[in-house]
């Protein structure tokens, strides 16, 4: 199936939003960026797509109250910042979605929850019910009790695990670059953009090792993409600052890097 057709048929979608997509250069949540993304999501919601958001940004949102100028390196301090910032992060989303009368829910998960049979089922059942009721779940890592994403991933792995659990049709990872490049564009003028990945080969994984963006960089994003494409779920990595990015992706516009599913989804 080609890219446009796959995307046009994507009914249930996980939208993963990286910290840098919704925060300003002053290390603060930027409500205009959140509002723009919410408007984009609202248009899909009206077209009957089921959307689940996995969002970072709690740590950055908590810096100011803890009188921190930048992301701390001390892990418990990061967790403290996240606990303070999570409330602000949710408040921003609740306020933005309220304008459209769309109900949202907060879900805090750990990777461990999703590997434990009973908790996995509980989370899945709750998320299913929320979607049935037209509520948009807004998921983040429960940073107080788990530190996997703070350390390595900026929620990339969590978004992949949620995508698998909810058997979604597409994961979109919104970040602060246009997608995958053969190398870091600002360091290497010959770096080329990669619009389509048929299969994640060692050569693709090597490109992702070039550091440059966000807490997780490309490496954890490609790992997430590999996990999903092998399970029949396509992935798009795209720039979350681009206007109406999600609607552009779903309408088949060649934007971002598309990772084709290499296996058919087991129904």
Q: Which residues bind ligand GLU (CB under 6 A)?
A: 19, 56-59, 82, 140-141, 143, 149-150, 154-155, 215
Minimum distance from CB of 83 to ligand GLU (Å)? 10
Minimum distance from CB of 114 to ligand GLU (Å)? 15
Helical packing angle, 156-165 and 217-229, nearest 10°: 10
Minimum distance from CB of 120 to ligand GLU (Å)? 20
Judged by CB, which is closer to ligand GLU: 40, or 143?
143
Minimum distance from CB of 107 to ligand GLU (Å)? 12
User: Residues 6 or more apart from 249 whose CB is under 8 A from it?
Assistant: 7, 172, 236, 238, 255, 256
Which secondary-structure segment (H or E) carries 174? strand 170-175
Judged by CB, which is closer to ligand GLU: 57, or 179?
57
Q: Considering only CA atoms, which of 148, 160, 143, 140 is closest in space to residue 80? A: 143
In which region does residue 55 sit, left (phi positive, over 0), alpha (psi from -120 to 50) or beta (all else)?
beta
Judged by CB, which is closer to ligand GLU: 102, or 108?
108
Residue 71: what are its φ and ψ, rounded to 5°? -55, 120
Minimum distance from CB of 152 to ligand GLU (Å)? 8
Judged by CB, which is closer to ligand GLU: 214, or 234?
214
Measured torsion, CA atoms of residues 85, 78, 242, 265, in degrees rounded to the nearest 10:
-100
Judged by CB, which is closer to ligand GLU: 153, or 234?
153
């Amino acid at each position: 199936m080609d890219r446009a057709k796959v995307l046009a048929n994507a009914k249930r979608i996980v939208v993963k939003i990286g910290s840098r997509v919704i925060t300003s250069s002053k290390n603060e949540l930027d409500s205009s960026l959140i509002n723009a993304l919410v408007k984009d999501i609202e248009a899909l919601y009206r077209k009957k797509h089921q959307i689940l958001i996995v969002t970072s940004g709690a740590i950055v949102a908590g810096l100011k109250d803890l009188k921190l100028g930048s992301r701390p390196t001390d892990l418990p301090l990061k967790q403290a910042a996240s606990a303070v910032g999570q409330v602000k992060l949710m408040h921003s989303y609740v306020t933005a979605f309220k304008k459209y009368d769309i109900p949202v829910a907060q879900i805090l998960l750990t990777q461990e929850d999703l590997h434990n049979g009973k908790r996995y089922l509980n989370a899945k059942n709750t998320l299913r019910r929320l979607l049935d009721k037209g509520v948009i779940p807004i998921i983040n890592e429960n940073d107080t009790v788990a530190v996997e994403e703070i350390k390595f991933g900026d929620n990339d792995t969590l978004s992949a695990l949620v995508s698998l659990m909810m058997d979604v049709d597409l994961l979109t990872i919104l970040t602060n670059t246009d997608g995958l490049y053969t190398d870091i564009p600002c360091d290497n003028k010959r770096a080329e953009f990669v619009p389509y990945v048929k299969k994640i080969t060692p050569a693709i994984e090597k490109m992702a090792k070039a550091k440059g963006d966000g807490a997780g960089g490309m490496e954890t994003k490609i790992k997430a993409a590999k996990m999903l494409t092998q399970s029949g779920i396509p992935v798009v990595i795209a720039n979350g600052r681009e206007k109406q990015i999600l609607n552009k992706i779903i309408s088949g516009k060649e934007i971002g890097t598309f990772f084709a599913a290499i296996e058919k989804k087991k129904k």
